[in-house]
Amino acid sequence: MEYPIRPAEPRDSPHIMAMIQELAKYEKITHFITLTGEVLHRDGFGDNPWFRCLVAELPENETRETGVPFAGYALFANSYSSWTGRTLHLEDLYVSPHLRGKGIGKKLMKKVAEMVPVMVEQPMAVAQTVSVAKENAWATGVCDCCDDCSVCCFAFCCLPCFQCSTASDFGECLCLPLLEPGFLGMFGLGGCSAPISVAMRAAVRERYRIPGSICNDCCLVCWCYSCVWCQLSREIKKRKQTITMVTAQTTEMSIRHPQFIQYSTLPATEPKSTR
C-alpha cells in the first residue's frame, strides 16, 4: 500500500498539531507541550516560516474510516554549524503506532535527506582520553607509604628490582640504579655518595617542574634512601594517569546516496522522534 510523502500545507496544521500531541502522549511527556495550533500555523506557514514539515498521506479509504488524513510526519528546520555551514535539524520523526512496520518512517527520512546536500545528526556522546595536568608539587610526601602500599611492599621485597622498574617507567635505562657506587642500592643505603638516586630525583623534579634543589635532594637521599625511591615511583605513576571525558561531537552524514541512511528500530516498530 502506498503512503505518498508531500510537503505540508497550511490546511494541514490542525492535523500536524494532533500528531504532535499524539507523539507527546506516546512518549508520556504531554505536560511539556505548550505549543498551540495557532502558533504552529503562524510559525510554519507564515511569511517567514521557522520550520518545514513533510507528511505521509493515508489512502482515501483509510482516511474515511479513521478521519485522520496522515500516517505520520517529519518536522525539521534549517540550522547552522560552525564546522560545516548550513545544516538541517530534524526535530520530529513520527508514525502512528498502528501503522508502523510499513516503511513509512524510512520514506519520510529519505525525503528529508533529499532536501539538503548535507545533514548533521544530533550531537552524540564521545569518550576521549586526555592527560591530567598536575600541580607543580610532589603528589605525595617522602614518608607517605600508605598512599600506595604496593609500591612500598615491592621496594621492601627487592629494592634493586624496584629501582630498576622505577627507572624504566621514567624512561631511563633499566640497569641505571645498579650503577650506584658500591652497589648501595643492594642494601638500601644512600650514604653521602648516591649520584644515581640524586640524579633521578632531580630529573623527576625537572620534568614535572617541581620546585626544589640539589642540596635538598642529597639530604633526602642520605636520610632515607629507599623512601626517596618510593616517592619517585608514586610520582611517576600519578603523573601518567589519564581520565576519560565524555563530550558532544557533531557527526556529519552525507546524503548523496540516501539509500544508505540507516537507523535502528525496535522490532515491528517504526523509528519515533529523534528528540
148-188: pLDDT as tens digits: 888 888 888 888 888 888 888 888 888 888 777 655 544 54
Residue corresponding to grid cell 589519564? 242
Checking if the pLDDT of 7 tops 90, the result is: yes
Asked if residue 57 and residue 110 are part of one domain, the reply reads yes
What share of the chain has pLDDT > 90, as a percent? 22
Asked if residue 153 and residue 89 are part of one domain, the reply reads no
**100: in domain:** yes
Read off the pLDDT of each residue in 45-67 and give the average, rounded to a whole number. 85
The tally of domains found in the chain comes to 2
Asked if residue 55 and residue 18 are part of one domain, the reply reads yes
Domain that holds residue 144: 133-240
Q: Output the CA torsion 125→129→132→133 (10° steps).
A: -90
**246: in domain:** no
**268: in domain:** no
Asked if residue 115 and residue 31 are part of one domain, the reply reads yes
**109: in domain:** yes
Read off the pLDDT of each residue in 225-230 and give the average, rounded to a whole number. 86
Identify which has the larger pLDDT, 174 or 43.
Answer: 43
Asked if residue 175 and residue 233 are part of one domain, the reply reads yes
How far from the centroid of its chain's Cα atoms is residue 219's Cα? 47
**271: in domain:** no
**266: in domain:** no
**78: in domain:** yes
Q: Report the alpha-carbon angle 174-176-177, nearest 5.
A: 105
pLDDT of residue 251: 47
Asked if residue 255 and residue 235 are part of one domain, the reply reads no
**d(Cα 162, Cα 150) in Å, to the nearest integer?**
11
Asked if residue 29 and residue 109 are part of one domain, the reply reads yes
The DSSP letter of residue 82 is T
Checking if the pLDDT of 84 tops 50, the result is: yes
Tell me, what CATH number does 98's domain have?
3.40.630.30
pTM confidence score: 0.43
pLDDT of residue 260: 36
Asked if residue 211 and residue 153 are part of one domain, the reply reads yes
Read off the pLDDT of each residue in 54-66 and give the average, rounded to a whole number. 81
